[in-house]
Amino acid sequence: MTTTSTSTAQRTTIAKALNSGMRAAMERDPKVVLMGEDIGKLGGVFRITEGLQKDFGEDRVIDAPLAEAGILGTAVGMALRGYRPVVEIQFDGFVYPAFDQIVSQVAKMHYRSLGKLKLPMVIRIPYGGGIGAVEHHSESNESYFAHTAGLRVVTVSTTDDAYWMMQQAIASDDPVVLFEPKRRYHERGVLDLGGANPDLADAPHALDEAVVRAEGSDVTVLTYGPMVKVALAAAQAAELEDGPSIEVVDLRSLSPLDAEVIEASVTKTGRCITLSEAQTFTSVHAELAAHVQQHCFYSLEAPVLRVGGYNIPYPPSRHEEVFLPDLDRVLHAVDTVLGY
């Protein structure tokens, strides 16, 4: 598929939309290069970069040695030379060798140089569980990055966002960690390209904007990435049973948070649940809870509840159906906040 199709709307998957987003960015800017393990001929273990090396060459789609710190560190150097690297980390749990480069260098270079050096790079991390994988392949480690000043952290839940946010992240002059919900890669959706020659200005939302995916009046669910689907299912189930009216806010950006949308929703509903696969302790969940109690205090009818992974290491996959929040756990939390 190509982005120059004359049709403005097409059915596609999140995986393919991410690919199209990268392709569009590479067509637009010759300085955009992709770096990662197995991203060339193979197209990445999830095929997100499929076909890009064939079309853009080995100099722009770089199969890197198997060393994550090396990939991140060389990407920093490429960015200093004027390139815009898009780095693929193969799985969430494999980013830690590169963590030093990300927090010590990527996040701080602009600050250290008093704004004289920019590091426009995107670090793509397939994250989350639910795919029956072995250890280190199912983590939701976004909080480590959201905690670090200097990084922008975003995630996608729709084909539209996959396509547009990829391009916005690449166009950003700040380093962006883009979390891709791996178990939703093959979810289908309609992608609106916005025209025959889509421009970034056509993007329906800004990179750091939260979006209300379902309107409701009783409870706000603040969620993102792979859990947006679960939250929407919960809202729908509750509606079908004439239960509580659930508003689903897809945060999209975890750093910065869209305080305006969050506060508007919770102020309206008076109840708030945070929902993600991540362990709740000192997490984005925790930040959301703190933010909401501080800024929506007089609107709250109940304490903020966090629905997430239990505070244990990601368990063997035979446990993941109960470790990962599901529709029942969301509805249980909804009942709980309504019981105050």
Partner 1 sequence: MKEPALSDEEVARSAAPTATGGSPARGLHEPPERDMTDGGPDMVQFLAADGTRVPLTDVNSPYAAYLDELDEEAMRGMLRDLILVRRVDSEGFALQRQGELGLWPSLLGQEAAQVGPGRAMRPQDYAFPGYREHGVAWCKGVPPENLLGMFRGVNHGGWDSNENNFHLYTIVIGNQMLHAVGYAMGVQRDGDVATGDPERDTAVMAFTGDGGTSQGDYNEALVFAAVANAPVVFYVQNNHWAISEPNDRQFRVPPYRRADGFGFPGVRVDGNDVLASYAVSRAALERARGGEGPTLIEAFTYRMGAHTTSDDPTKYRISAEVDIWKKKDPIDRMRTYLLAEGIVDQAWLDGVEAEADELARRIRQACQTMPNPPHEEMFEHVYADAHPLVAREAAEFAAYQAGFED
**Residues designated catalytic:** 137
Helices (H), ranges, the chain: 14-28, 52-56, 68-80, 99-100, 109-112, 142-146, 159-171, 227-240, 259-269, 284-295, 320-323, 327-338
Return left, alpha or beta for 150; rule: phi > 0 is left, psi -120 to 50 is alpha, else beta.
left
Only one of the segments 20-28, 60-68, 122-130, 219-227 lies at the binding site for partner 1 (rule: CB under 8 A); that segment is 60-68
The nearest distance, CB 72 to partner 1, in angstroms, is 8
Only one of the segments 41-49, 64-72, 127-135, 332-340 lies at the binding site for partner 1 (rule: CB under 8 A); that segment is 64-72
Q: Which is nearer to partner 1, 65 or 316 (CB)?
A: 65
Q: Which is nearer to partner 1, 111 or 281 (CB)?
A: 111
Only one of the segments 57-65, 264-272, 304-312, 320-328 lies at the binding site for partner 1 (rule: CB under 8 A); that segment is 57-65
Do the beta carbons of residue 22 and residue 52 sit within 8 Å?
A: yes
282 makes contact with partner 1 (CB under 8 A): no
Q: Which is nearer to partner 1, 118 or 329 (CB)?
A: 118
The nearest distance, CB 85 to partner 1, in angstroms, is 8
Q: Which is nearer to partner 1, 73 or 315 (CB)?
A: 73
Amino acid in position 254: L
Measured CA distances, 331 to 43, 194, 248, 255 (Å): 39, 36, 13, 27
Helix axes 327-338, 227-240, angle to 10 degrees: 60
186 makes contact with partner 1 (CB under 8 A): no
Listed in sequence order, the residues at least 6 apart from 5 whose beta carbon sits closer than 8 Å to its beta carbon are 193, 196
The nearest distance, CB 297 to partner 1, in angstroms, is 17
Residues in contact with partner 1, total (CB under 8 A)? 48
Measured CA distances, 231 to 15, 25, 142, 213, 252 (Å): 21, 31, 19, 9, 14
Residue 44, class by beta-carbon neighbours within 10 Å (0-12 exposed, 13-18 middle, 19+ buried)? buried
152 makes contact with partner 1 (CB under 8 A): yes
83 makes contact with partner 1 (CB under 8 A): yes
Helix (H) or strand (E) holding 272: strand 272-279
Task: Choose which of 15, 22, 48, 76 interacts with partner 1 (CB under 8 A).
Answer: 76
Task: Choose which of 88, 92, 161, 208 interacts with partner 1 (CB under 8 A).
Answer: 208
Residues 90 to 149: which contact partner 1 by CB under 8 A? Answer: 97, 100-101, 104-105, 108-118, 120, 149
58 makes contact with partner 1 (CB under 8 A): no
Collapsing DSSP to helix, strand or coil, 84 comes out as strand
How are beta strands 84-88 and 61-63 bridged, if at all? unpaired
Of 33, 93, 37, nearest to 58 (Cα)? Answer: 33
Only one of the segments 77-85, 184-192, 193-201, 217-225 lies at the binding site for partner 1 (rule: CB under 8 A); that segment is 77-85
Q: Which residues bind partner 1 (CB under 8 A)?
A: 33, 59, 62, 64-65, 67, 69-70, 72-83, 97, 100-101, 104-105, 108-118, 120, 149-150, 152, 172-174, 208, 255-257, 259
